[in-house]
């Protein structure tokens, strides 16, 4: 019994452990929606334009993406494939890993599983989505880093704020100074978007980053929507099947007793 209790405690604390790093940071709530095809299509377009230069989606093929998101092959080839890849190829990044390491000081990881990586235990996809959404929304100006920006979710991230032209560069918001208040000690707790700082309004930028995250949720498991659709028929089949087996059993054992 004691062992069981121990095991339970360990199991329950695992998702908590994964989230421990951002303890103080409240993630933004993104509410993705895989049935919103228009959002997924926009997300795919943004991803190819702004992210694929560095990050691959190596478990997703262009053709599959087209089929799932109702984008005809010709349009996929025309608008989503930039590097001459075949439509049957996986979405690999044009950047060579050694180059990335030299330029950025870090290797941009494949993003197919980014959402799951940050789900805290793998089951809470919504948390992974919130994590990436918050990441894209919390870059802020920091002249001391090589990229000129910092980030609340990944402190000292090597990724530049690639969407800065659209969002502008947010200013850091500091915690209220409690001790001597020296600027060096102050902790950044939020970001403030300068008005008219980027090409998009704040609401438009939120929508854009939500589309990208929605697309990444899809990419993390393209089969998800299909599987959900399959769930009910499979369940019904099993129930009917069980009923038949039960009747058969009654029939076979009838004479034995
Ligand atoms: C110039 C190259 C570059 C581009 C373009 C780029 N990134 Fe990144 N990204 C990086 C690097 C480098 C890291 C690693 C950051 C670190 O840990 O220091 C990273 C990290 C990330 C992470 C964290 C991954 C993880 O699991 O920890 C996410 C999510 C991400 N990028 C999303 C995006 C999205 C979405 C776009 C497009 C809007 C994008 N990136 C465009 C270079 C890039």
* Higher per-residue confidence, 12 vs 254: 254
Question: Is a pLDDT exceeding 90 seen at residue 103?
Answer: no
Structure tokens at 68: 């799932």
Residue 35: φ, ψ to 5°: -85, -5
Question: Is a pLDDT exceeding 50 seen at residue 157?
Answer: yes
Calpha distance 78→101 (Å, rounded):
30
Residues of the chain with pLDDT > 90: what percent?
Answer: 59
Ligand 1 in reach of 109 Cβ (< 6 A): yes
Residues 6 or more apart whose Cβ sits within 8 Å of residue 108: 54, 55, 93, 95, 100, 159
- Write out pLDDT tens, residues 12-71: 444 443 344 445 688 999 999 999 999 999 999 999 999 999 999 999 999 999 999 999
Ligand 1 pocket test, candidate residues 51, 55, 200, most atoms within 8 A of CB? 55
Nearest CA to ligand 1 atom 29: 132
- The per-residue pLDDT for 43 is 98
- Short-list 105, 34, 35, 91, CA closest to 60: 91
Task: Indicate which atom in ligand 1 lies nearest the CA of residue 158.
Answer: 18
Nearest CA to ligand 1 atom 2: 54
Question: Is a pLDDT exceeding 90 seen at residue 145?
Answer: yes
- CA 112 to ligand 1 center in whole angstroms: 12
- CA 55 to ligand 1 center in whole angstroms: 7
Ligand 1 pocket test, candidate residues 43, 106, 108, 151, most atoms within 8 A of CB? 108
- The per-residue pLDDT for 3 is 58
Task: Indicate which atom in ligand 1 lies nearest the CA of residue 213.
Answer: 35
Calpha distance 25→153 (Å, rounded):
8
Question: Is a pLDDT exceeding 50 seen at residue 7?
Answer: no
Residues 6 or more apart whose Cβ sits within 8 Å of residue 123: 15
- Torsional class of 181: left (φ above 0), alpha (ψ -120 to 50), beta (otherwise): left
- CA 34 to ligand 1 center in whole angstroms: 22
- The per-residue pLDDT for 125 is 77
Structure tokens at 27: 């993630």
Across the chain, mean pLDDT equals 85
Residues of the chain with pLDDT > 70: what percent?
Answer: 83
- The per-residue pLDDT for 161 is 97
């Amino acid at each position: 019994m004691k062992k069981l209790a121990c095991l339970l405690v360990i199991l329950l604390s695992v998702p908590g452990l994964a989230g421990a790093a951002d303890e103080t940071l409240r993630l933004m709530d993104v509410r993705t929606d895989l049935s919103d095809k228009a959002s997924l299509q926009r997300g795919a377009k943004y991803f190819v334009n702004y992210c694929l230069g560095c990050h691959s989606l190596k478990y997703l093929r262009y053709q599959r993406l087209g089929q799932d998101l109702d984008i005809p092959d010709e349009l996929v080839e025309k608008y989503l494939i930039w590097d001459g890849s075949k439509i049957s190829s996986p979405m690999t990044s044009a950047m060579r890993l050694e180059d990335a390491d030299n330029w950025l000081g870090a290797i941009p990881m494949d993003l197919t599983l980014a959402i799951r990586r940050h789900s805290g235990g793998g089951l809470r996809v919504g948390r992974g989505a919130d994590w990436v959404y918050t990441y894209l929304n919390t870059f802020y100006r920091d002249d001391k880093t090589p990229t000129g920006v910092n980030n609340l979710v990944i402190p000292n991230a090597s990724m530049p704020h690639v969407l800065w032209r659209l969002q502008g560069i947010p200013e850091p918001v500091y915690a209220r100074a409690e001790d001597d208040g020296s600027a060096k000690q102050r902790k950044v707790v939020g970001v403030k978007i300068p008005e008219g700082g980027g090409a998009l309004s704040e609401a438009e930028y939120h929508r854009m980053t939500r589309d990208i995250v929605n697309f990444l949720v899809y990419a993390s498991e393209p089969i998800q929507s299909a599987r959900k659709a399959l769930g009910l028929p499979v369940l019904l089949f099993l129930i009917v099947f069980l009923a038949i087996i039960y009747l058969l059993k009654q029939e076979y054992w009838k004479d034995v007793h």
